[in-house]
A and B are shown apart, each in its own frame.
Chain A
Amino acid sequence: MSQRLIIEAGRTERQYWRDLWRYRELFYFLAWRDLLVRYKQTAVGVAWSFVRPVLAMAVLTLMMKVSKLPGDGVSPLPLFVFCAMLPWQFFSTAFSESGSSLITNSNLVSKIYFPRLVVPASSIITSFVDFLIASVFTVILMVWYRFLPPVNILFLPVFVLLTLGASLGTGLWIAALMVKYRDFRFIVPFMVQFGLYAAPVFAMTAKIPETHLWHGMEVPVRLIYALNPIVGIIDGFRWCVLGGTNVIYLPGFVASVVGVVVLVWSGLSYFRKTERSFADMI
């Protein structure tokens, strides 16, 4: 029962991962709280997790129809759009919520000790649950269009995991930065808005030319585009769910995996580095 605790400058480092395990219940409880609170005092409740992506999909599909964008040319357009909306909405809500989580929980941070990592990590859960609920709509769409997914769909968890990683990494960076610079409160909505256009929601990555001649130089446009980890993730989702002409652009996939690993690793280390002064700054 008796345990010895030593508090010294820089000491938390050594006990950190043990503490993180000890505070796993807090992780559950915070996630549970966010889920409970999310739709309190709303008329349709959880249906919002469903309605929002569906509406967004409807608008985008209409937009594509009007501007005569072909999608992948084979699979139904709503399904084509939804396969991109799903991971994109998950990623964007997850990272923006986990990014602002420390600020919204500042009363906890300044009054109680716990490994701060618990807060941004648990706030991703809400978005993940939303993602799962919205996924049900994919199934409904498939049934509606009598679309049988290819065997590739077995690889879907890999890409879900990649999206989780990308969200966590970005979320950690922003959470840590926002404690110090509230500028990020304004930067994040911009990232979410702009990101939708930077992601291959409207067209396939394959439609982007391999290279482009620019001032006499061969610029590898598609590779540069694929450096955005979300590009690889969305391509992966389409490959898993739609298959057919939706192929995985291999350099893009590698860039995604490497990008996510770097994001998570650097996010973690920056968060850990700044964490000890959160209570003093928040």
Chain B
Amino acid sequence: MGDSVIKIENLSKRYWIGHQAVLGEDHVHSEGLRHVLERALRSPARWFSGDKNRKPAGVEEFWALKDVGFEIKQGDVVGIIGRNGAGKSTLLKVLSRITEPTSGRIEIEGRIASLLEVGTGFHQELTGRENIFLNGAILGMSRVEIRRKFDEIVAFSEVEKFLDTPVKRYSSGMYVRLAFAVAAHLEPEILIVDEVLAVGDMAFQKKCLGKMQSVASSGRTIIFVSHNIGAVMGLCNRVVWLAGGRCHMVGPVREVADAYVATTSLQVERRTDLAKIVRYEMNIRAKLMSLEWLDGVPLKHGVPARIRIEVKFTGDVPDFQLSLGFSTMEGVRVATFDTDSDRGFAGASPGDGIQAFELVVDSLVLNPGLYMVDVMTRSGNDHELDNLRGAASMEVVSSESTPVHFFGKEPSVRLGGRWTAVNH
């Protein structure tokens, strides 16, 4: 097999889609128990032999994966991108042996572990301590291994004080931290990670991605699935682009990501719910709740824009500051709006409850292109409260009033200036 640790050949996975929208592989599903019993009574022999290849009536076949093939080398960090329904999750499930392929073959060299969600098998009634052991066992760690790493896991999770409290009493942040701490201490040679681990606020993301990077730099192989192209670019060196269940493109990250960004129109929402994003911190005094583009999406170059941000305050927030920034998909900040420099409401300390803020931009000078939007709340200028990187995606398009015909490939700021031809 050379130095490739994973070799996928002609991998296909078929589902049957029935009238009742029941998915299942190679089985009769649109039938109820009554029909099966009826059939069993009529011809028991055939029922027992399990006549599987018969295509059930009123059922359509659907290939979630079709002839997918690629190789992954030792130490590679491979991103798998694609839109919803492209087959990413199915590929993950087949790779982690949760479901069998319909045809094709995968060869894997080395100990493999998959993290399709954090906290799989966590039991609400059990304490943090008990859940560490249970979750560890579920992820494939041995008792000895868990005991050896127990202190490290607890330290990483920062929930020492609540170790003997049932996790149902945990805040969602604590819960996620504990769950991730267990997962982060898996030591497989190949790690499969779903994108759930890539969302979240800055601190959580840093810690998770940081841990993953340290895993990668120690020579392990990581497969990382995401439709957040920014996270993929920051972490991976190779990318597999799935489209319609097929392998659309495989190659170095830059090449594939550029092609992906060029053909994929981002899903931009008029209003983004920020409250549901998983935070690493537990009690955020000024929590970002939502982000809304009052003049509609996508944004237009050279046109005024109004942005509404809702913040939920709990407790005292002296000298509240709010900022919003635009970054490229690679995470390079190109524009920042800040209440501090804009002298929006210097020194304000709002009371408890949800309060909305509006930012008016007289003329948006961003080049047409795709951006990630970062939002942050602070108390003063050195106290970050809630910092969401890539909270939303935004597309800027050229407008009729100020058409931008040439902008190259790079999202950036287009500043205004006066040009004159100077004759010598």
Contacts and interface: CB of A to CB of B under 8 A. Distances in A.
B94 interface: yes
A7 B101 contact: yes
B220 to A, nearest CB: 13
Contact of B98 (A1, A25, A112, A181): A112
B142 A7 contact: no
Given A2-B110, A29-B133, A108 B23 contact: no
B25 interface: yes
A281 interface: yes
Contacts of A112: 96, 98, 114, 116, 120-121, 138-139
Contacts of A154: none
Interface in A5-20: 5-12
A143 interface: no
B279 interface: no
A276 interface: yes
B125 A181 contact: no
Given A3-B111, A12-B97, A111-B120, A37 B126 contact: yes
Interface string B312-345: 0000000000000000000000000000000000
B133 A111 contact: no
Contacts of A28: 137
Contacts of A5: 107-109, 112
Interface stretch (B26-34, B204-212, B369-377): B26-34
Contacts of B96: 112-113
Chain B interface residue number, banded: 35 or more
Contacts of B107: 4-7
Given A5-B108, A26-B138, A33-B134, A276 B100 contact: yes
B99 interface: yes
A181 B111 contact: no
Given A10-B100, A107-B121, A36 B24 contact: no
Interface of B: 15, 22-27, 29, 32-33, 36, 50, 93-112, 114, 116-117, 120-121, 123, 125-126, 130, 133-134, 137-139, 142-143, 166, 189
7 contacts: A7-B101, A9-B100, A26-B137, A33-B130, A105-B121, A114-B138, A279-B98
Given A280-B23, A281-B22, 6 more contacts: A7-B100, A11-B100, A12-B100, A26-B138, A111-B117, A181-B36
